[in-house]
Every structure is written in C-alpha cells, then in structure tokens.
Structure 1
C-alpha cells in the first residue's frame, strides 16, 4: 500500500524530506570560497590602492580561496560527523594536498610566468614570440595567503555549525 505524507509528517521529519537537503560541509565550503573571493577586493585595494573587480574571479591573492574552501569542508565534516571517520580523513588529506600545491607548484609556475612575460617584453618587435599574449602570473599563494585562507575556512565552518 502506498503511504501518503501529510504536511504534519513533513514538518516533523525536517530537512530530510526537503527537495534541497541541508549539507553543512558543502554550504560551508561554498560560503567560505565566496567570502575569500570577495575579500580579495579589499586586500587588493589595501595593497595596491585600486579597486580591481576581476580579482573576485581570479586565482591567487589574499586570502587563498582554495585553502579556505578545503579547510571549511574538512572542519565542517569534523563538526558534523566527528574526526574519527574516513570522510574526515579524506577531507584533511585533500586540504593538505591543495594547500601544499598552492604554495609549491602553482606559486612557482606563477613566478616562472612572470619571468617569461618579462623576457617576451624585452624581445624586439619583429621576433615571432613578441606578440604572444602574456601568461597569467597570479596562480599560486604565499604561505601567509594560504594560512589566512585556512583560518577563514575554520571560522566559516565553526559559525555555520554553531547556527
């Protein structure tokens, strides 16, 4: 026999019967990423004394949105499911890999792009490479930017889990 769920039953079961489930780790990660990207407007203004709205959609800069996202994810999973499960372990390993990559490979790739752009600018105009579009040089993060992103992720996950 088919069951019929009444409005009273739906309100008792709460978010389990809603169309869009409440997922604390996912919402914490997305909110933390958006907040980090938004904060880049102000940190760029503080450092360079100019507003650059493109910073909200670009990588690199203060704070690291990648670090903020994965840290918020790991911390929110820890708050929700505890730190003894495999889900938390996966999230922590993912966070470590992302943050290591941001300060290592991506930071050095950005520095190489900066140097290559400088070399290309010094080439004579008739050189075939002189008209090549410049490489993006804001790819990675300094350890301070990664740390700031991780702190932001922890704060967002804590505030989301305590509400």
Structure 2
C-alpha cells in the first residue's frame, strides 16, 4: 500500500514539474548563465566595431558578425558562461569544471589553430595574387584571413566575459531579493 502512495505522490510531482512550452520559453529569459554569455558576445562584437572606428576612423558594420579582432567574442562568451555557472551552481561542481574546460579549449583554439590558419590564408592569397593571369587559379576567390585571435585579444575577451558575468551576478542577486 505504501508503494502505491509513493508512486502516486511521485507521479503528481512529475506533473507539477511539467510546464507548458510558453513557460519553458520564458524561463530561458531567466537563465542567468545563458544571458551572461549572450550579453558578452554582443558587447564583444560591438566593441570590435568601436575599436575599428578608433583605429581607422571609419565604420565597418561587417565587424558585427566577423570573427577575429579585438576583443575575442569567443573568449568573452565562454568565459562569461563559465563564470556565471560558477556563481550560480558553485565553483567546485562538475558543471563549472565542464564549462571551464570548454572555455579553455575554445580560447586555445582561437589563439592557436585558427590564428595560424588565418596566417596561412594570408600567404596563400599572396601566392595566388602573384600568379600569371592565364593560370587556372589566378581567378580564385581570396581566402578569409581574419580567423583567429592574438593572445591579447583572447585575454581581453576573457576579462570582458568575467566582468559581464560578475555584473550579471550582481543584477541577478538584486532581482532575487526584490
């Protein structure tokens, strides 16, 4: 008899935890780690536009969706996500460890593999430009050269992501108290 009561109570608690699709969608807007990551990405991409204007005195809207440049939006995004997870779920948990590992892989890749792939693209483009006009590859579309980040760009993105996550944590605490 007790087994039936336990089964019935667990069944009712499952029903209470199932929510409608609209409430699930609205809960995304209360997901502090996700919002921190999105905010860090948007701010980093926007800062690329500003740093380009500062250096070249012209606006280039393509930078809002481009990879490479200062600061690294990849680093900002994954760092904000990892730090926000740490604030929300604790810095000693396995979820934080997973997020930090992901962040390290992304930052290493952007300053290593992707940076060097961009440098190789520069060399290949130069070779193609110097080919005679009759060469079959002379009309080849140039490869994208700005793929990765320099270490200072990665560090700047990481700092930006950490600041965004900390600000988000403070805002989240204020909202929770209200």
Normalization by structure 1: what TM-score? 0.88
Q: CA deviation at 1:50?
A: 2.1
Q: CA deviation at 1:45?
A: 1.5
Distance 1:147 1:47 in 2: 20
Deviations 1:53-76 (A, max 9, x none): 101101000000000000000000
Higher helix share: 2
Alignment match, 2:115: 107
Structure 2: stretches of 5+ with no match in the other structure: 1-11, 13-22, 172-178
Normalization by structure 2: what TM-score? 0.80
How well do the aligned residues superpose, as a CA RMSD in angstroms? Answer: 1.3
Q: How many residue pairs end up in the alignment?
A: 148
Matches within 5 A, 1:136-151: 136-151=144-159
Q: CA deviation at 1:80?
A: 0.6
Alignment match, 1:130: 138
Q: CA deviation at 1:19?
A: 4.6
Find out whether 1:31 has 2:39 as its counterpart.
yes
Q: CA deviation at 1:20?
A: 1.2
Distance 2:111 2:152 in 1: 9
Matches within 5 A, 1:12-161: 19-21=25-27, 22-161=30-169
Q: Quick one: structure 1 residues 23 and 103, their matched pair in 2 at CA, closer, same or farther if it must change by over 3 Å?
A: same
Q: Quick one: structure 1 residues 18 and 94, their matched pair in 2 at CA, closer, same or farther if it must change by over 3 Å?
A: closer
| Higher Cα Rg, which structure | 2
Deviations 1:75-129 (A, max 9, x none): 0001111111110000000000000001100000000001111111111111100
